[in-house]
Amino acid sequence: MFNQPLSRVPAITLGNNLQVLQLGSPTSGRFNQPIEPGVLPASITKLGLSYEFNQKLLPNSIPPNVTHLTFGNRFNQSIKMGVLPSKIKYIYFGNMFNQNIKPRVLPDSLETLEFSAFGEFKRKLKEGSLPPNVKTLMFGHIKRLIFGHDYNQTLNESFHSLVNLEYLEFGSIYNKSIDVGILPSHLKTLVFGNRFNQFIKEGSLPESLVSIILGTEFQKPLVNQSVLPRKLKTIHFGDCFNKPLKIGVLPISMEQSLTINNNNCNINNFSNNISIFPSYGLKVLVFGSNFNMPIEPNVLPNSLTKLDLGQRYNHPLQINSIPRSVTHLELSYFYNHQIGVGVLPSKLKSLYIKGLFNQTIEPKVLPNSLTALVFGQFFYNQPIADNVLPSTLKELKIKGLFNQQLPPYINHIESLELGESFNNFNNLIQFNNLKYLNICINNNNIISLPSSITILNINYSYNSYNNNSDNNHNQFRINDSFLPSNIKVINIIGNPIVELPLPPTLETIYIQNDNISILKNYDLFYQIYDIIRVIDCNNKTKIKHK
C-alpha cells in the first residue's frame, strides 16, 4: 500500500489539473507521511486522507481550493488557525479525533462538519468554535454533521451563533438540560436520542421549530402551552412517555405528524370541542407500541389522512372512531376484532391489517374507494366471500397462513403477493390484468400464470438441487413454458431449475449469491450471464420494478 513521502512523487504524476485525491482508504489505508506545504496541486477540490494518517498539518499543507476534506480514523492532531483553506465546505473527522476545536480554526465557509458516528469526540465546543454558516448539526449516529455516540456535553452560547443551522440531532446517550437562548433561532428539526429525559424549559425551543422527536426514555411532562413552539407541525413521543397531555399543549399549527406511545393517555376525557388534539390541520397520527386505550367516536380530528394504531391496540372500532377524512389506515399487530359495516371511512385508499387478525370480512365492510389491502405475516386464513373485496382494489397482499381460493371477481387487480402457505394456484391464470406477482413454491406443482405479468418474485423453498445428480427431475422448473410471454424481470430466491429457452422479453434475472442452480451450471450461466444480477443471500427484498 502507498506510504511514500509526497516530496518523492514526481509532480507530473499528480498533475496540475487533478481535482480529487484520495491518499489511501480512510478505513484501511497505510499512508502516514507529513504533507509539506505546497506539495499537493492547487487544483485539488476534494482530498481524502488514509486510515493511518496522523501527522501535524501546516498552513498550505491542504491546497487552497479544497472544499471537501476527509480524515481517516487514526487522525488525532490539534489543528491551528489558518491551516484549513478558506473555501472549505465539508470536513469529516474519523473515530479517534478528540481534540479541542478553538475559535476561528474552522473557516466561515464551512457548512457541514461530521464526526464519526462511533468516534471518541467528547470535547466542549466553546463560543466561536463553530462557524456561523454551518447548516446541519447532528450528535450521534450517521448523517452529515455527526458528533460521536458518547457526546454528552452541555450546550453553550456558541450554538446560538449558528444562524443558518436548521437540523440538530443528538446521539443515544445525550441527556443534558438545554437552557433558554442556546438553540439557534432558525432551527427547524430537533431530534433527541434514546436517553434524553430532561424537562423542556419554557422558551428553550426556538419558535422556528417545525419538527421534534423525543427519544425512548423521555417521560417528562409538558408543563404548559408555552413549551412547544406555536409553528410545530410534527412531534414524536417515545415508548416510555406516560404523562397526561393537557388541553392546549399541542399547538394548533400541527398539521403533519403526531406520534403517541403513551398507554396512560386517555384521549377520550375530552369532548370533540375541547380536545388534546389540535382542532384542525393535523394530518398524520401514529400511536406507538404501548398505546392501548379505546378510541371513542368523534375524538380524533377530522383533518387526519393517515392513522397508525401502533402495535398493541386491541379494542373494537366503532363508527366514527376513525375520522371520515382518513385515507391510509394501519391496524395494530394485536388487533383481532370483527370490523363492522360503516367503521372504515368511505375515502379509505389503503388498509394494512397486521399480525394476529383472523376475522371474516363481510360484504360492504371494505369501502369502494380502497385500492390497496395488506394482510400481515401471520394468522389470517379466512375464505373471501363474494362482494367482499371492492372493484377499486389494485394491490392485494396476503401473507402468513392464508391458503384459501382467490375469488375470480378480483381478476382486475394489478399486484398480488401471496405467502408461504398458499398453494391454491388453480385460477391464477384468470387474473389477466396482473402485472406484478410474488409467490412461494415448495413443490413441483404445475402453475399456469397469466401472460400479463411483467415482474415475478419466486421464493422456492425446496432446495435439494444437485448439479451432478440425475434426481433433479422432481424440481420445479423455470422456462418459457412456465414464464409469462410478457415477462421482463424475475427475482429467484432458492434453487429451482432454470432451463433454456427463456422468453425473449426477459431482461433481468435476480438471484442470490448462494444460488447453485445457475451459478454452478456453467453451460447455462454463460448463455444468460448478461441478464443475471447477483444479490446478497441475506437480502430477501422483493423486486417491485427494474
Within a domain: residue 506? yes
Q: Write down the pLDDT at residue 152.
A: 66
pLDDT of residue 537: 67
pLDDT, residue 233, reads 82
The mean predicted confidence, pLDDT, of the chain is 83
Quote the number of domains for the chain.
1
- Tell me the Ramachandran region of residue 70: left when phi exceeds 0, alpha when psi lies from -120 to 50, beta otherwise: beta
3-state helix, strand, coil in the chain (%, to 5): 5, 20, 75
In a domain, 450, yes or no: yes
Residue 546 falls within a domain, yes or no?
Answer: yes
Asked if residue 340 is part of any domain, the answer here is: no
Q: How far apart are CA 316 and CA 67, in angstroms?
A: 59
Domain membership of residue 364 (yes or no) is no
CB 301 within 8 A of CB 282: yes
d(C-alpha 146, C-alpha 70), whole Å: 13
**Listed range (106-120, 126-140, 477-491) with the worst mean pLDDT:** 126-140
Q: Report the SS3 class of residue 524.
A: helix
pLDDT, tens only, 31-73: 899 999 988 999 999 999 988 999 999 999 999 999 999 999 8
Between 512 and 378, the higher pLDDT residue: 512
* Phi/psi at 369 (5° precision): -80, -15
* Domain contains 351: no
Residue 274: CB partners within 8 Å, gap ≥ 6? 247
Q: Please give the Cα distance from 11 to 208 (Å, whole number).
A: 51
| DSSP secondary structure letters along 387-412 | T-S-TT--EEEE-TT---PPPGGGTT
- End-to-end, the C-alpha distance of the chain in Å comes to 39
Residue whose C-alpha is closest to residue 249's, from 215, 277, 213 = 277
| Beta strands, E only, 275-377 | 284-287, 306-308, 328-330, 350-353, 372-375
pLDDT at 223 over 60: yes
Q: Supply the DSSP string of 258-275, one letter for each residue.
A: EEE--TT--TTSS-SSS-
Determine how β-strand 489-493 pairs with β-strand 306-308: unpaired
Domain encompassing residue 538:
435-546
pLDDT at res. 260: 61
The better pLDDT of the pair 263, 127 is held by 127
The pLDDT, as a whole number, for residue 446 is: 77
Q: Give dist(CA 30, CA 57) in Å, integer.
A: 17
**Residue 100 included in any domain:** no
pLDDT digits (tens, 9 = 90+) for 284-298: 888 777 778 788 888
Let me know if residue 167 belongs to a domain. no
